[in-house]
Every structure is written in C-alpha cells, then in structure tokens.
Amino acid sequence: MANYTIIGLGRIGTSLGMAIRGRQGKKSTVIGYDADNNTQSLAQRMGAVDSVEWELSKAVGDADLVIVATPARSVHDVFTAIAPHLKNGAVVTDTSPSKRAVTQWAEELLPKNTVFVGGNPLTGASVKEQKDASGHIFHDTKWAVVASPSADHNSIKTLTDLIESIDAKPVFMDPDEHDSFSAATTGLPAVVATALMNAVSTSPSWSEISRFVGMEFDQMTAPASAEPSSSQSAAVTNSDMLAHWIDQVMERLRSMREALLDDEERFASDGILSDSFVQAWEQRARLEAGIADRRPDTAANTDIPSSSESMMSLFFGSRVAGVMSGGKEKKRDATKYDRRKLN
C-alpha cells in the first residue's frame, strides 16, 4: 500500500486527492495537510483525503511520496519544515510552475536520503476554487516531470506510476525548457490579462466602458481572476523567463501600434498589421486543429487566381469560373487564411 501526503489542499491538491482515492481506492492512503483549518476540513468533507494532520511533521512521517501543492514561493518554507521528518527513501514532488527554483531549493534543503522529482500537472482546467475541485481534471492531460540529476529510476517511477494511475500522461522535460514553456503559456497570459484589466478599468470612463464588455474582453481578462498570491508567486520564481516573453509581446505590440499610426501601412493588405492578424489567425487555427507541433505546409499556400479567372468570378462566381477555366477545385486548408479577403 502506497502512502501519499498532500501538502496544500487548494484546488489542485484537493483535486489530486480525489483522483487518487477515486482511482486507487484502498490500494493507497492519502494524508492531507493545509495551514488553513477550513481548507483542510473541506478537503476531508469532499473525500479528497483519508485523514488530515494538524502538524506538518506528523503528516509526512510515513509518506512514500510527498506532494507539495502550495504556491511556488512557499515551497521553500515547506521543504525547510518537512526535511527533518521525512523517512529514508521518501520521494518528494511538487505541482508548481517554476522548476529551476524549486529544484535548487530541494538540493539545498531536503536530506540526502530522500529524492526530489519535480512535477507540474498541465491540466488547463477551469477549476478556480477548492470547492470546485474534481479528480477528473487530470484525465488524459500532460504532467511535466522534471527529474533532478540525482533521481534514480525507482524514484521517478514512484511519481510516474501515480500520474498514470489517475489517467494523466507524464512528459519528461529539463528545468529550463519547462520554465520557459510555463512562463509563455501560464505566466504570460496572467500578466497580459492583468495589464489589460488595469489599463481599461483605471480609465475615468470605466463605468461606461464596462457596459461594452463582452466575450472578447471577458476571455482575455479571465486569468486576472486567479488568486493574486498564486499569480505573483509564479511570476517571481520564474521572473527572467517571464520577462523574456513580455519583451516578445511588447515588440509585437509596438510594431502593430506603429502600423496603426501610418496612413499607408494600416490599410495595406500585405503590411505589418494585416500580417499580424493573419499569422495569429492561422496559428490559432493550427492549435485548435491539434497540429501546432507540425510545420505548416508551405506548398499549400492559397492559389492566386489569374486575371481571366478574376474577371469570370465577377460574373459567374468563383466555383463556376474555376470550371470554365478548366481548373479543379482544391480542398481548402482550414488553417490557411484566404488573404484575398484583405483586398
């Protein structure tokens, strides 16, 4: 029987406990700990843990795998607190979006008779609060595994066995790669949403502007509704990577701004502004089609009609014009934008 301890019973910790108990049943024991008594009690009522401990030292004493599911910045303090109480051979993991900092803290603070294997469940779930926790959020999702150089096969397997037991899929990464990707896909949206929300809401006209808020603004600012302490924690423990991606966004915003203020550029069908919108549209289409990881087929560019085809299209329509000109209608690539719409 495997003994698990989950430290931090927020939305992820509680969801993980529910997933373990739901999939493993009596094959394991889940002990829960949270500094907040109400959070701890709710996790127990929701069935996320078999029992709770009010003292951190007792919570980890018998654990084969300790899962630290607290905000990234507090992991340092947790490692310091649990280090004297871990049993020989215990494996420690985490769920934070910052792996370089956490791996360094593990090397400095955890005893040599234990092993740290970093983790990050890439759930992409819309669970915002503990009360909405669900063990199903891990189903068929990726779980980043960042093993330290000293991690042995059995220790890594302890974590991957857990991941696979709750229907998630382990993906092995190094700390730098993980932190760059994490900053781009979770940290950056939080920063952009925060900047957008603050820029617009501090306008003297915000009361009137708020009446115009629709799906676009709502979706763009949704990450700003995350717990501020968690957002700041993730940002400050991965600051350099996040700053890099902010620079990338600012560079593109500056280019689009300059194009908007240029009388010719802003109307050009092949200018910076139009190219920016087309590129974003196509990359989003590839992401939604599940082919973002493949190179675009450059040979599948939209055909430019001949002058005679264009003239016939004016009178008969593009489909008839293609037949009359002897051309064959090609299957359209749904991820390629028809730039003729820009003219």
Q: What is the pLDDT of residues 116-149, one digit of tens each?
A: 999 999 986 668 889 999 999 999 999 999 998 8
Beta bridge partners of 66: 5, 92
CB distance 67 to 94 below 8 Å: yes
Structure tokens at 93: 């993991």
**Domain finish residue from 152, 173, 194:** 173
CATH number of domain containing 131:
3.40.50.720
- Residue 151 and residue 84 share a domain: yes
257 and 273 fall within a common domain: no
Please report, to the nearest 10 degrees, the dihedral formed by the alpha carbons of residues 65, 71, 74, 76 taken in order. Answer: 50
Secondary structure (DSSP) of 272-340: HHHHHHHHHHHHHHHHHTT-TTS---GGGPPPPPPHHHHHHHHHH-HHHHHHHTT--PPPP-TTS--GG
| CB proximity list for 330: less than 8 A, separation 6 or greater | 303
Give residues with Cβ within 8 angstroms of 293, minimum separation 6.
Answer: none
Q: Which of 2, 17, 149 is nearest to 90 (CA)?
A: 2
Average pLDDT score, the chain: 89
Distance between start and end Cα atoms, the chain: 67
The answer on 271 and 220 residing in a single domain is no
Q: Is 18 helix (H, G, I), strand (E, B) or coil?
A: helix
Same domain for 196 and 98: no
Supply the pTM of this predicted model.
0.82
- Domain extent at residue 46: 2-173
Q: What is the model's pLDDT at position 293?
A: 75
What are the backbone dihedrals phi and psi of residue 189, each rounded to the nearest 5 degrees, phi first? -55, -35
Per-residue pLDDT, averaged over 283-287, amounts to: 94
